[in-house]
Amino acid sequence: MEKTHSFHIPVMGIGFSIDSPVKVAQYGISSVISLVDDLLIEDMRRYYCNLMDEEYVPITKYEEDYRAKRITAYLNLIDQIVKKKFEAVQSSCFETGSEITKYFEMLSDKSPLKALYQKMLETTDPQVKQELQEQLRAQMTPGNIDVNIMTKLDQTNYSQDRKELPVEFSDALAALRGYAQSTLNSAIVLSAGINRRLYTYVEKFEDFYADATGFIKKKIILKVSDYRSSIIQGRFFAKKGLWVSEYRVESGLNCGGHAFASDGFLLGPILEEFKNKKQELISSLHKIYNDAMKLKKQISFDQPHDTDITAQGGIGTAHEDQFLLDHYELDATGWATPFLLCPEVTNVDADTLEKLSNAGKDDLYISDVSPLGVPFNNLRENNSDLEKQRKIDAGRPGSACPNGHLSFNAEFTEFPICIASRQYQKLKIEDLEKQNLSPEEFQSQYDAVVMKACVCFDLSQAPLINHGIGKKGVKRFTAICPGPNLAYFSRIVSLREMVDHIYGRINLLNTEVRENMFIAELRMYMDHFKAEVQKHAIEPAKKQIDYLNEFKQNLIDGIEYYCQLFPQMAAETSEYQQGTLEQLSQIRKSLESAY
């Protein structure tokens, strides 16, 4: 089926895209909701019930399975709102400034539906115009209300009397159940690697299976780092009679949120492998899938279900976007970070929005603030970090840990707590004080402890600030996790402007010199590699030497690949192509001198 748009809006943080479907789905644009924070989800449900004059019945934490119930109720409400909004757009008049006109004008100029719309506009015969308008209305579709589960966020939960709950009440499994029991016909994006108990749990829900016609009500999307990961995870699901409908390839470093660096594997070569092996991937999984369906005594399918390959991470220009679609034969691309400057789409509070619009390259950096221990994209002087520093200066580091979604450490306590919590940091610092460390070593370890921030709470604060909702009297300090691509976008824009930028009708980039997205990612991997060399500089073990040698060779292979690729970018000028080749040569020399 032809996609309405060739791009989607990926999940951003916890709260930034929590209600994006309400804002964009009626225009055929798909976006993704995070299912991390059920308390935020419940606050947003109350807000939208009041806004839509719907009855709101609270789901309290004292109810059994409250996390799943909150998620189901919110998603059902969003589904209902989007359907109403889409029907309103679909039934509006074709006139200047109308919603249906906005729907069609935002389409890519290469879209067949846009061509039909242009034909309708040019038609002078009233009867033919009317017929074309009805054809257009019939072909309109809303964007998907997709959801995301970060598979690493799957802590065990406890009852009110502190007894461990069964595994199906863990954070990730409860979130999956909440989505599975909703009315949505969309997809769930599973990110951050394999979670076997979560993946196995998918089997229990009928909506994830194809019906006799091949229709899958709730599709599975895997966010992956490379082809090998796709094969492994795709097989895991296929053996259960479950089909993965999309492999969403994301740059390891040139993205927002947590940064999961590969061992030097770059986005271009990864996408090339997907392009060359897509049919092999589909056919091999189709056989495993059909074998599983026969064992389950279910209907098998002569042809595999649709499988999309998409990419995201650092795309900044229409040329880059179109090159990805054309050269790698992608089904769509993902645009996230630039939409943080689009209040029509995302929730960013006014103070943070101003900081984002003024941010330059030096203001965007990879930090160690995440309690997950995974590098985290950050904005300097964000309000969450300023409040964290204030607490450190006051001698009371750490967070009250109001949500506890990252409570995985049991170093000092019977029940796991978060290493960003005040409780953990107090106990850890007391432990350091007993170790007779040198002042320098103590300070180094102390800084590493108090560095951790309460990201699971602070990433959800912007929508509460913007809508004036949530528990009264709570001071809110927003954390934010933009990708480095934000440095080249410097003004607050409308949805229409951002879509026009993606499709090349206008240019929203500032005057900063911006390198090609592949070059930018390569430089990030170079910095990461140099840091790894420094980390293992003193008496490295053979395993570490082998790792660094492999990392270096992967970067060299990537550079050689790009040397062949960039001259194929026909839409770019010869000066641009030559410039990128010179940049690659310089990076290669820097790599050789670094190790």
Residue type, 41: I
CA distance linking residue 570 with residue 157, whole number of Å: 54
Q: Do residues 94 and 100 lie in contact, with contact meaning Cβ atoms separated by under 8 Å? A: yes
Q: Is the model's pLDDT at 2 over the cut of 80?
A: no
> What confidence tier does 540 reach under pLDDT thresholds 50, 70, 90?
confident
| 413-425 mean pLDDT | 94
Q: What is the pLDDT of residue 579?
A: 86
Check whether 291 has a pLDDT greater than 80.
yes
**Amino acid 574: pLDDT:** 79
Choose between 572 and 173: higher pLDDT: 173
- The whole-number pLDDT of residue 73 equals 98
What per-residue confidence (pLDDT) applies to 1? 62
Which uninterrupted H or E stretch holds 428? Answer: helix 422-433
Q: Give the integer Cα–Cα distance in Å for 365 and 385.
A: 13
Tokens 């092996």: give the residue. Answer: 277
pLDDT confidence band for 536 (50 / 70 / 90) = confident
**pLDDT tens digits along 553-571:** 999 999 999 999 998 886 7
Residue of 522, 494, 524, 492 lying closest to 510 (CA atoms): 492
Mean residue pLDDT of the chain comes to 95
pLDDT, residue 388, reads 96
pLDDT, residue 572, reads: 73
Interior angle at CA 531, CA 530 and CA 537, nearest 5: 85
What is the arithmetic mean of pLDDT over 355-378? 95
Q: How do residues 478-508 score in pLDDT, each as one tens digit? A: 999 999 999 999 999 999 999 999 999 999 9
Interval 424-453 mean pLDDT: 96
Strand 364-367 relative to strand 376-379: parallel, antiparallel, unpaired? antiparallel
Mean pLDDT of all residues in 389-418: 93
Q: Taking a C-beta distance cutoff of 8 angstroms, is the pair 506, 373 a contact?
A: no
Question: Looking at the predicted structure, is the pLDDT value of residue 161 above 90?
Answer: no
Query: Where do the domains of the chain lie?
Result: 1-164, 364-467, 510-594
Name the phi and psi angles at 248, rounded to 5: -100, 100
Predicted TM-score (pTM) above 0.85: yes
